[in-house]
């Protein structure tokens, strides 16, 4: 995503374009995985040492609230962030905490009557289990090795 596309995305959601927000968005758009806030801060701070930890975290919060970035909560671990433009779900490994993208499909939304006065923003499916690196290898007899 180029600078003009990022500027347009920010302004469409009512966020002001700043060099700091641009840095955070550009990093997330190019990063292949799902980094933590600390990893994002370290990466963007290398590009612009004037960027503070607080500014990075505040920009992440603003980008999440604007719907440009998704925060993926990983139980007992630091949240991870995702700015991929293509809709998708997530698989989270119970052992290592790795977050992987899962192809998007529609998730049935709860009936409006069950929401009461709440308004639904989005439904996301999070699948949990063991990733291919952490899953026990199966022996020749088909039994999982522990």
CA distance 44 to 11: 21
Q: Longest C-alpha distance within the chain, in Å?
A: 60
CA distance 47 to 56: 13
Show Cβ contacts of residue 118 under 8 Å, excluding neighbours closer than 6 positions: none
Residue 123 annotated as lining a ligand binding site? no
Per DSSP (E only), the strands in 9-125 are 70-72, 80-82, 88-93, 99-103
- Residue-wise over 10-25: b if at least 16 C-beta within 10 A, else e? beeeebebeebbbbbb
Cβ atoms of 35 and 28 within 8 Å: the answer is yes
Annotated binding-site members:
93, 96, 131, 134
Annotated binding-site members for Zn(2+):
93, 96, 131, 134
């Amino acid at each position: 995503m180029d600078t003009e596309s990022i500027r347009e995305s920010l302004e469409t959601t009512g966020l002001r374009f700043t060099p700091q927000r641009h840095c955070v968005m550009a990093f997330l758009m190019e990063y292949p995985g799902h980094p933590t806030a600390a990893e994002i801060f370290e990466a963007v701070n290398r590009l612009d040492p004037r960027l503070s930890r607080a500014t990075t975290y505040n920009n992440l919060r603003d980008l999440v609230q604007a719907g440009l970035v998704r925060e993926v909560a990983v139980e007992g671990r630091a949240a991870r962030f995702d700015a991929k433009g293509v809709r998708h779900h997530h698989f989270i490994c119970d052992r290592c905490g790795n977050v992987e993208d899962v192809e998007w499909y529609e998730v049935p939304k709860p009936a409006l009557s069950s929401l009461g006065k709440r308004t639904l923003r989005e439904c996301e499916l999070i699948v949990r289990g063991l990733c291919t690196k952490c899953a026990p290898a199966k022996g020749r007899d088909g039994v999982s090795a522990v």
